[in-house]
């Protein structure tokens, strides 16, 4: 599924990064190394765009993460969805690493229910990204399958996963910001 770039969501990601950067895990580097700084903002921009898809299309199901606006508090998920049976599932959004591959890192908190894997269409390298080309959700995996040796070929199809959740107010067809590829 394709998600269009929105400048307002990039600005929101930059604001969040300014508040959280001192508390985010460093992923093998110092906080201010250029590659690490790029990774922080890259991940937050992807997260904001995917999260917005759910806020927009499933407002009755969407719930903020447990650490919403608690900048210093780590959390294993980026948002939650309340299903029709009142069960709440936790979702982590995962974008590409600096090398363009996908997978967890050893400091990433475990224990969420699902990981949504999304790529940045305009990413040529960690320091050459055109966000305006948008994002593509590649699929979804269970937490147990998301690790450092993650196999992207084992993803669940995003559309089928969405259907399996029986969410309310599904209106992807009615919006200009999202489309299935």
Look at residue 176 and tell me if it is in a domain.
Answer: no
Average pLDDT, the chain: 85
Give the number of domains in the chain: 1
- C-alpha pair distances (Å), 152 with each of 114, 116, 138, 176: 14, 11, 9, 28
Structure confidence at residue 149 (pLDDT): 78
- Give the total residue count for the chain: 181
Look at residue 181 and tell me if it is in a domain.
Answer: no
Grade residue 173 by pLDDT with cuts at 50, 70 and 90: very low
Look at residue 152 and tell me if it is in a domain.
Answer: yes
Checking if the pLDDT of 105 tops 60, the result is yes
Structure confidence at residue 170 (pLDDT): 53
Where helices occur in the chain by DSSP H, the ranges are 7-20, 34-57, 158-165
d(CA 125, CA 39): 11
Structure confidence at residue 174 (pLDDT): 41
**Structure confidence by residue, pLDDT tens digits, 140-166:** 999 888 887 778 888 999 999 999 998
Checking if the pLDDT of 176 tops 50, the result is no
Q: Is 112 exposed, middle or buried (0-12, 13-18, 19+ CB in 10 A)?
A: buried
β-pair type (123-125, 114-120): unpaired
Checking if the pLDDT of 74 tops 70, the result is yes
Look at residue 65 and tell me if it is in a domain.
Answer: yes
d(CA 74, CA 89): 18
Domain that holds residue 122: 2-171
Look at residue 144 and tell me if it is in a domain.
Answer: yes
- C-alpha pair distances (Å), 57 with each of 11, 68, 69, 128: 21, 20, 22, 31
Look at residue 180 and tell me if it is in a domain.
Answer: no
d(CA 126, CA 65): 27
**Structure confidence by residue, pLDDT tens digits, 5-59:** 999 999 999 999 889 887 776 555 555 678 778 888 999 999 999 999 999 999 9
pTM of the model: 0.87
Look at residue 177 and tell me if it is in a domain.
Answer: no
Look at residue 105 and tell me if it is in a domain.
Answer: yes
């Amino acid at each position: 599924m394709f998600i269009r770039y929105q400048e307002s969501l990039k600005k929101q990601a930059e604001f969040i990064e300014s508040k959280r950067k001192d508390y985010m895990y460093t992923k093998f580097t110092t906080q201010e190394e250029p590659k690490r700084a790029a990774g922080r903002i890259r991940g937050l921009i992807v997260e904001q765009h995917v999260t917005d898809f759910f806020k927009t299309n499933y407002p009755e199901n969407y719930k903020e993460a447990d650490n919403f606006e608690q900048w210093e508090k780590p959390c294993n998920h980026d948002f939650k969805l309340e299903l029709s049976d009142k069960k709440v599932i936790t979702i982590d959004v995962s974008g590409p690493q600096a090398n363009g591959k996908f997978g967890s890192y050893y400091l990433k908190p475990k224990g969420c229910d699902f990981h949504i894997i999304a790529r940045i269409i305009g990413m040529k390298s960690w320091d050459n990204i055109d966000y305006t080309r948008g994002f593509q959700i590649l699929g979804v995996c269970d937490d147990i399958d998301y690790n450092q040796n993650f196999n992207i070929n084992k993803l669940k199809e995003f559309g089928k996963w969405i259907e399996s959740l029986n969410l309310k107010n599904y209106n992807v067809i009615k919006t200009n910001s999202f489309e299935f590829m």
